[in-house]
Amino acid sequence: MTLQDRFDPDELIDVACEAAGGRDFGNAYGWSDGLELLCEGLVDEAGLSPLGVEIAHAHMVRALVNRLQVFAWRTAHPEVADRRIHQPVVILGQPRTGTTLLHDLLSLDPGFRTPLTWEVDNPVPPPRPQQTVPGSPHPAGARRGQECGRILSSQFASMIFSVQYRLPTYYRWLLYDADCSGAYRFHRMFLQHLQSEVRCQWLLKSPAHLWQLDALLAEYPDAVLVQTHRDPLSVVSSMSALTHHLRRVATDRSTIAECAAQAYEEIVVGLERATRVREATGAQVLDVVFNDFVRDPWTTIKSVYQQLGRDLLPDVEARMRAYLAAHPCGAGPRRYTWADTGLDAGEARDRVRGYQERYNVPDERLR
């Protein structure tokens, strides 16, 4: 079977339908454009190795199967559509700005509910209360909180694809041209599905929400946003190295410079767009500066709780302290340098200076 055959949209759909035992993809949600662009990119641009072909094929089939299963469940259980998603707390910000650590810490509070990796990857049947284990002191692997990009992959409107694979046409479509209103309707539907039997206040996280903040707020107008901030040049350095590392699993065509050019474009556009949306909507946003979080995590955590109007209970604080002791802020080796990006630091600094001044984000020394 040729590469074109492996990533023919109709062929993938047939494979998924056979696996799931149904054909209802919820066409009104507008997902096929993303699927077609992804398939074209995986054939023409990604430069997939034999291993990469298998990884990407399984990735696409799993996304389709999950979509089919969720819609089938919703058809059989129409009452799921009445489940209210009330005031979700959504962590967003540039990648590599502490969003994951902040999400991990807050997820230790049983008052929050995070989508867990195992239930995002295998959403049917929906989890029961005893399966979600809120406030687990050591979230890891399948029981770790998963970010929303994984959910949106079944809508084929997710930056997970353009980070993991070399897809220049797809990432520009997603950044500039995609209508993500349907993607966030699907996102809400997915959360309704997961909370079929588990009432909760959702704690969500994805750096990619920056790019589509208007679509997110249209679907969740009462959302409380927690935006993390860090020197964008350090973010570009770190993100380009991470993207290159991930892509090398599937291709030998990746370079750090190419990854950096994409990261720089996405980050600048995302920051500018999110600022405009915040100004236009008056959304409730709590701002967290990465440097402050790393230097004094407890002041940051207590400030977040205070602004959320929540009590930080002693047992929750103890869990957080234990987790933070095992996962200290800023720990780990630095495997990236600005020089690897091939970008002009002065030009980049000028482009992001307005953002940094607006949110009091200090420059970091470029490595």
User: What are the tens digits of pLDDT across the range 216-239?
Assistant: 999 999 999 999 999 999 999 999
Task: Give the mean pLDDT of 108-118.
Answer: 91
| Model pLDDT, residue 138 | 34
First to last CA, the chain: 46
Q: How confident is the model at residue 198 (pLDDT cuts 50, 70, 90)?
A: low
Residue 330 in this model has a pLDDT that exceeds 90: no
Q: How confident is the model at residue 140 (pLDDT cuts 50, 70, 90)?
A: very low
Residue 304 in this model has a pLDDT that exceeds 80: yes
Helices (H), the chain: 3-6, 9-20, 32-44, 50-76, 99-106, 117-121, 129-132, 148-152, 159-164, 168-172, 181-194, 213-219, 232-247, 256-281, 290-295, 297-308, 314-326, 345-359
Question: C-alpha distances in angstroms, 141 versus 121, 144, 162, 166, 286?
Answer: 12, 5, 23, 26, 28
| Model pLDDT, residue 139 | 42
Q: What is the pTM of this model?
A: 0.92
Q: Are strands 284-289 and 224-229 parallel, antiparallel or unpaired?
A: parallel
Task: Give the mean pLDDT of 286-314.
Answer: 94
Q: What CA dihedral angle connects 200, 205, 208 and 210, to 10 degrees?
A: 80
| Model pLDDT, residue 116 | 87
Distance (Å, whole) CA 100 – CA 123:
22
| Contact between residue 225 and residue 111 where contact means Cβ atoms under 8 Å apart | no
Those residues with Cβ within 8 angstroms of residue 142's Cβ, 6 or more apart along the chain or in another chain: 116, 117, 118, 121
User: Which among 213, 214, 211 has a CA at the least distance from the CA of 173?
Assistant: 211
| Model pLDDT, residue 14 | 97
Q: Which CATH architecture has domain 3-359?
A: 3-Layer(aba) Sandwich (3.40)
| Model pLDDT, residue 331 | 56
| Contact between residue 217 and residue 347 where contact means Cβ atoms under 8 Å apart | no
Q: How confident is the model at residue 142 (pLDDT cuts 50, 70, 90)?
A: low
Distance (Å, whole) CA 330 – CA 356:
20
Q: Which helix (H) or strand (E) holds 97?
A: none
Distance (Å, whole) CA 300 – CA 296:
7
Q: How confident is the model at residue 336 (pLDDT cuts 50, 70, 90)?
A: confident
Q: Which residues pair with 93 in a beta bridge?
A: 228
What letter does residue 363 receive in the DSSP assignment?
A: -
Residue 137 in this model has a pLDDT that exceeds 90: no
Domain ranges of the chain: 3-359
For CA atoms 12, 18, 24, 26, the dihedral sign is negative
Q: How confident is the model at residue 367 (pLDDT cuts 50, 70, 90)?
A: confident
Residue 164 in this model has a pLDDT that exceeds 50: yes
| Contact between residue 362 and residue 231 where contact means Cβ atoms under 8 Å apart | yes
